[in-house]
Amino acid sequence: MTDIPPSARLYLRPTAFVSAPFDRDGQLLRLAGGMLWFSALDVIAVADGRRVADRLVPVDRLDDFIANLTSEQAETAGATIARLTAPRPPLRLGERIVRLDQPQVMAILNMTPDSFSDGGKHIDDAEAAASAGVAMAAAGAAIIDVGGESTRPRAELVWEGDEIARTVPVIERLARAGTAVSIDTRKAAVMEAALAAGAGLVNDVSALLWDAKSAEVVAKAGCPVVLMHHQGDPQTMQDDPRYDDALVEVYDWLEDRVAAAESAGIARDRIILDPGIGFGKTVRHNLAILNGLAMLHGLGCPILLGASRKRIIGALADEAPVERRLGGSVALALAGAAAGVQLLRVHDVFETVQALKVWRGMRDEALSPV
């Protein structure tokens, strides 16, 4: 019998990853149809808002474990395991297809004067910005993410007309060049203009909550959308963020947003989830989420990780300034890849792609029968 309380809700985090699945029938499960196999699940039981049990269950003992749960817990566990292992279908961005059976890079291209890392670099020069985007695609970025409003802590709201003027000329040029483009915005009018200009994906830091019309725009377009967790807004999010259990609460919040998006007519296979590193979270909150990233695959959607050059790196590395956070950014990208994250949103494309090529080479060798 299991000692997990019958009233507890269960969360399943894949762990005990192995290099290859050969000769291990029944002992492993494949994570989200990707390049990783895990041999155990960390089963976290939560009741009345707190963790009441935490058990490591080997894959080859899962059936026995589930048999001793309540019928409701067993049903939930079975559905979660199915979502953990189901392959993620590729994304279609216009004529471009982005496969999600391996980690892919989403490159950051900010058309803003005040973004925390590269604000002002391309402002008022759409041609130069588009050239930079094409170069990032040539360096291996699968998607170029164009944004016209900074959402760093304390950032000011940008009028949608200005945001459109900043982003649409760049998106038009990138689309003509055959590049897969996403629009980083929380405003429905900007989404519409960007999609009409050739963007194929909406990346919304508000998870379609900031603008009441945004879900309708995305549903009508039938395009993929990134729903990002946040607490508060850019003006207030870092004032005093609090969680009893950051990983579990982010999971629950994202689950609710997936349900809301589906109710609005957005197909689940077009939803991508972002845990929102740095958006209403302390360093400890961010670390807890990063350590538990693999659990988010239980929601059945691709995962995007955006940790490039963020404050957590400086906090852990002698207060390194933004321009000296490359090593930490690559380390977090590889941590994401090791947790099965499908999309990595980064500033440093060449270096991240190179790191992923090395990671991929190691995986390919491990998956080649001797």
| Per-residue H/E/C for the chain | CCCCCCCCEEEEEEEEEECCCCCCCCCCEECCCCCCEEEEEEEEEEECCEEEEEEEEEHHHHHHHHHCCCHHHHHHHHHHHHHHHCCCCCEEECCEEECCCCCEEEEEEECCCCCCCCCCCCCCCHHHHHHHHHHHHHCCCCEEEEECCCCCCCCCCCCHHHHHHHHHHHHHHHHHCCCCEEEECCCHHHHHHHHHHCCCEEEECCCCCCCCCHHHHHHHHCCCEEEECCCCCCCCCCCCCCCCCHHHHHHHHHHHHHHHHHHCCCCHHHEEEECCCCCCCCHHHHHHHHHCHHHHHHHCCCEEECCCCCHHHHHHCCCCCHHHCHHHHHHHHHHHHHCCCCEEEECCHHHHHHHHHHHHHHHHHHCCCC
- Tell me how crowded residue 66 is: count the other CB atoms within 10 A of its CB: 19
CATH superfamily of 91-366: Dihydropteroate synthase-like (3.20.20.20)
Is 345 among the residues known to form the active site?
yes
Whether residue 76 contacts residue 8, with contact meaning beta carbons closer than 8 Å, is answered with no
Whether residue 144 contacts residue 177, with contact meaning beta carbons closer than 8 Å, is answered with no
Out of 166, 325, 345, 363, pick the active-site residue: 345
pTM of the predicted model as reported, rounded to 2 decimal places:
0.95
pLDDT digits (tens, 9 = 90+) for 140-189: 999 999 999 987 676 678 889 999 999 999 999 999 999 999 999 999 99
Q: Scanning the structure block, which residue is given the tokens 């490359």?
A: 326
Is 257 among the residues known to form the active site?
no
Question: Domain ranges in the chain?
Answer: 9-85, 91-366
Instruction: List phi, psi (to 5°) of 55.
Output: -125, 140
Out of 152, 270, 310, 325, pick the active-site residue: 310
Position 261 scores a pLDDT of 98
Instruction: List phi, psi (to 5°) of 150.
Output: -70, 140
Whether residue 83 contacts residue 297, with contact meaning beta carbons closer than 8 Å, is answered with yes
Contacts of 187 (CB under 8 A, 6+ apart): 149, 160, 163, 210, 211, 214
What is the amino acid identity at position 268? R
Measure the CA–CA gap between 262 and 125, rounded to whole angstroms.
38
Q: Tell me how far CA of residue 236 lies from CA of 184, 250, 288, 324, in angstroms.
A: 20, 18, 21, 26
Whether residue 340 contacts residue 273, with contact meaning beta carbons closer than 8 Å, is answered with no
* Tens of pLDDT, residue by residue, the chain (370 residues): 468 999 999 999 999 999 999 999 999 999 999 999 999 999 999 999 999 999 999 999 999 999 999 999 999 999 999 999 999 999 999 889 999 999 999 999 999 875 555 655 777 789 999 999 999 999 999 999 999 998 767 667 888 999 999 999 999 999 999 999 999 999 999 999 999 999 999 999 999 999 999 999 999 999 999 999 998 766 666 767 889 999 999 999 999 999 999 999 999 999 999 999 999 999 999 999 999 999 999 999 999 999 999 999 999 999 999 999 999 999 999 999 999 999 999 999 999 999 999 999 999 999 987 7
Position 369 scores a pLDDT of 79
Maximum CA extent, the chain: 66
Contacts of 61 (CB under 8 A, 6+ apart): none
pLDDT digits (tens, 9 = 90+) for 325-351: 999 999 999 999 999 999 999 999 999
Q: Scanning the structure block, which residue is given the tokens 């207030």?
A: 236
Position 124 scores a pLDDT of 79
